[in-house]
Chain A
Amino acid sequence: MGKMWVIATNTFREALRKKTLYILLVVALVAIGTSRFFSFLAAQDELKMIKDVSFATIEFFGAILAIFTAMGGVSGEIEKKTIYTLLAKPITRKNFIIGKFLGQSMVILLNAILISLFFIGLLISKKAVPDMEIYKSLLLIYIELLMIGAISLAVATFATDAFNIILSFFLFITGNLSVYFKQVIERTENIIFKGLGYMLYNIIPNYENFNIRDQVVVGVNVSWQYVGQTILYGVMYIVIAVLVGIYFFQKREV
């Protein structure tokens, strides 16, 4: 555990010292800040706009950061050849991958929480104290981002950067559209296609599960049961991704 933590803190520190994190953070804050300028709208509509833009920003920029941090974690080390000195140390490859995941998770969460604090501050400045539903939605976004990072990390253990970017963004889009895919499968009559469709639906990461924003922004309540189930889904998927990453990294020659 100690050595995993050493890798994690080093990953975190490296990310903090790079400019990428700050650039993304500033762009995200500017994006949210622009929603403040729509004060000509009715108050309710302006609040809705702030919430919509903020949630979308946290998710989108969080996803970009998650994918690039994960890629840098493995392929970055291989490219820079720091991997040689690392693997020569008394640390197992399994611990390396878990440490990398923990480190990148800290980076992803820090970024997401900072943007969230700005968002909440903006709401409070408009005298609209965020209710519990806002926090539920934020919590689900955080888990979603960790999941995106874990999957990207797993792919980085066996694929090139270019492939990783394409696959990660492809999964991000399909994962958000999976509900439409499911509705199409439900209308399919062919049993074989239906079965294959459901199998595919369950295999691909279902990011739409984490999306309760459309309801939260208009004040609809979402149950803790739903939130809990979705968090569990995210955690299990993260475990799957990390295990896959460990499997491929243990076979990888660098």
Chain B
Amino acid sequence: MPLLKVTGLSKVFQLGRNKTVTALNNVNFEVEDGEIFGILGPNGSGKTTCLKLLLGILFPTEGSISIMGKNQFDVEAKSRIGFLPENPYYYEYLCGTEVLNFYGRLFGMPKGLIKERTEYLLKLVNLQDAGKLALRHYSKGMLERIGLASSLINDPKILILDEPTTGLDPIGCKETRDLLVRLKEMGKTILLSSHFLSEVERVCSRIAIFHRGNLLTTGSLSSLLNQYGADNLEDLFVKSIEKYDVELESGKPVAATD
């Protein structure tokens, strides 16, 4: 049974009296246990909307979501998820340790365990010397790293990361990628949203390509490259979008391919 299953997911935003925007249209995909699943797409393709729907921050217009057999609002399901939003903002008056402590308590973790995890995670993200520093003094890179540490405080089964390397320098990006691979080796399932193709190419076992709210295709990189006759991910990305645009113009139903 897949760890995460999305069926017929659609989201329509009401902008005015007669104006709507379809942010997601009939999206279907599954994420298996232990894989790193990449969600690719240009800005405005619906990636973040999809993640917010998975986390219960937004409500679907249609469709369903199953996380470890439960719906996305289930408190037990949420207790097994770790989330890193794009450009994370934190309580600037808290220090690193306090932030981790706060989130740990929200997970209902015992004090001793929170302390243990805090020390471990601060070391993992290389912030062990900045634990007592208020977040308003953190650099952007430090904020991303404390965000990552926060997303891991509960030792989640599923990690959902929205653009985790945005704003990071090349070293920061590499460190994040290495960390993701380590997490995968630890048995974590990771759902990663990004518009950095190279990053996705290096770490993801399977990918999904979004465009204008539609899921164009999902599958392993190798199978998709074969299917589209693409040389690399960038080529695949461009070809899948072109195919969508052509089919849309010709009036053919646009369906996601697996």
Contacts and interface: CB of A to CB of B under 8 A. Distances in A.
- Chain A contact patch, size range: 20 to 34
A3 B109 CA distance: 11
Interface of A is mostly: helix
- Chain B contact patch, size range: 20 to 34
B81 A88 contact: yes
Contacts of B52: 84
B58 A89 contact: no
Contacts of A253: 57-59
B103 A254 contact: no
Nearest to B85: A84
B68 to A, nearest CB: 13
A75 B79 CA distance: 25
A88 B161 CA distance: 12
A253 B221 CA distance: 34
A170 to B, nearest CB: 27
Contacts of B169: none
A87 B56 CA distance: 7
Contacts of A13: 93-94, 98
Which one of A13, A86, A89 has the highest number of Cβ atoms from chain B below 10 Å of its Cβ?
A: A89
A2 B91 contact: no
Nearest to A81: B89
Interface of A: 2-3, 6-7, 10, 13-14, 17-18, 80-92, 253-254
Given A80-B89, A84-B55, A86-B106, 11 more contacts: A14-B93, A17-B93, A81-B85, A87-B55, A88-B56, A88-B78, A88-B81, A88-B85, A90-B75, A253-B57, A253-B58
22 contacts: A6-B102, A10-B94, A10-B102, A14-B93, A14-B94, A80-B91, A81-B88, A84-B52, A84-B85, A85-B85, A85-B88, A85-B90, A87-B55, A87-B56, A88-B81, A89-B106, A90-B76, A90-B79, A90-B106, A91-B106, A92-B75, A253-B59
